[in-house]
Amino acid sequence: TWTTGNVIEEQVEAIREQVGDKRAICGLSGGVDSAVAAALVARAIGDQLTCVYVDHGLMRKGETEQVEKDFVAATGVKLVVVDAEERFLNALKGVSDPEEKRKIIGREFIRVFEQAQAEIIADEGPAVEFLVQGTLYPDVVESGGGTGTANIKSHHNVGGLPEDLEFRLIEPLRKLFKDEVRMVGQELGLPEEIVQRQPFPGPGLGIRIVGEVTKERLDLLRDADAIAREELTAAGLDRDIWQCPVVLLADVRSVGVQGDGRTYGHPIVLRPVSSEDAMTADWSRLPYDVLARISTRITNEVRDVNRVVLDVTSKPPGTIEWE
């Protein structure tokens, strides 16, 4: 019978046998799949595994700390964190085009990751022969099935990096579905915030700022996003919605009034959606009182934001993300 305990035991044994006395590396994205894959491999081979986390500065509030502190505390994993915020912000300077942003973020990510990887390979110790990837069963089916869905956006996935063939792959989740992966993660003692995390795009907040990405705008969006997440969680809605992108329209300003003065600030868009697989989605009918609380708090607490709007578009025709 299928139990998370059996899955873990079976994988731990298989990974130990496969890796022997060699070493493995794993890229962490902050997402569920790479976290559970890494935790499973760490359980099997301990410090023969090194994890790499590239902090591109485009994460939401608290997410990098979650990986640096909570994940490490739960798994005891050896982690290399690369602080690359400045590098990413420099590369993104002056860029507003969504596809351009995606390409730049993907390209810089590979460069930074490969550099970190080279340093790990160069240090003393057994050969680094394995790369851990959080590939799930649906990914396996999708890439082999060849149903040929149109490529609307150039996706950035930590799981797909790097494509060097010098590594042998360890894919301990390739027979599992998402809900099973969450159960395995829980059994491995990972924090709830990581195991139950909703989908978040690889390019992060970089594609949730319509307009140029700057540190100031990222900080503003991080504050707005944190408020929306806090209120959705407090209302017990996390399991009801698939995800809720919060988007800053940095190139738009509208007139408002606050206190006794005129304001000319930016709108924040709430994009709560319900979905089974992100291929199609419907906008979530959130309770009005929750929406009201989010709106009031964001306009009161986030400087330069004077309007909150709700996206009521399904997918299609709208994609889930705005870029």
Numbered residues of the known binding site for ATP? 29-35
- 88 close to 56: Cβ distance less than 8 angstroms: yes
Return the range that interacts with ligand XMP (CB under 6 A); candidates 12-20, 73-81, 168-176, 313-321.
Answer: 313-321
* Angle, CA of 174, 179 and 181, to the nearest 5°: 45
Within the chain, how many helices (H) and strands (E) appear? 11, 12
Between 16 and 242, CB nearer to ligand XMP: 242
Q: How far is the CB of 278 from ligand XMP (least distance, A)?
A: 4
Point out the annotated binding site.
Answer: 29-35
In the complex with ligand XMP, the residue whose CB is nearer, 44 or 158, is 158
Looking at residues 138 to 177 of the shown chain, list those that interact with ligand XMP (rule: CB under 6 A).
Answer: 152-153, 155-157
Q: What is the nearest approach in angstroms of ligand XMP to the Cβ of residue 199?
A: 4
CA distances from 142 to 135, 145, 146, 160, 163 (A): 11, 5, 7, 14, 18
Q: What are the start-end ranges of the H helices in the chain? A: 4-19, 32-45, 63-65, 72-75, 85-92, 98-122, 137-145, 178-187, 192-195, 215-234, 288-301
Least spacing, CB of residue 50 vs ligand XMP, in Å? 22
- With CB under 6 A as the contact rule, the residue among 243, 284, 295, 306 that binds ligand XMP is 243
Q: Cβ closer to ligand XMP: 19 or 37?
A: 37
| Least distance (Å) between residue 10 CB and ligand XMP | 28
* Closest approach of ligand XMP to the CB of residue 76, in Å: 27
Question: For 197, which DSSP code?
Answer: P
For residue 288, is it left (φ>0), alpha (ψ between -120 and 50) or beta? alpha
Q: Within the chain, what is the greatest distance between any pair of CA atoms?
A: 70
Cβ atoms of residues 92 and 104 within 8 Å: yes
Question: Binding to ligand XMP by residue 98, rule CB under 6 A?
Answer: no
Return the number of the residue (16 or 315) whose C-beta is nearest ligand XMP. 315
- Identify which of residues 111 and 315 has a Cβ nearer to ligand XMP in the complex: 315
CA–CA separation, 238 and 36 (whole Å): 20
DSSP H or E run through 255: strand 254-258
Site string for ligand XMP, 197-236 (x = CB under 6 A): --x-xxx---------------------------------
Contact string (CB under 6 A) for ligand XMP, positions 277-296, x = contact: -x------------------
Give min distance, CB of 164 to ligand XMP, in A.
20
16 within 8 A of 45, measured Cβ to Cβ: yes
**Positions in the binding site for ligand XMP (CB under 6 A):** 152-153, 155-157, 199, 201-203, 243, 278, 315, 319-321
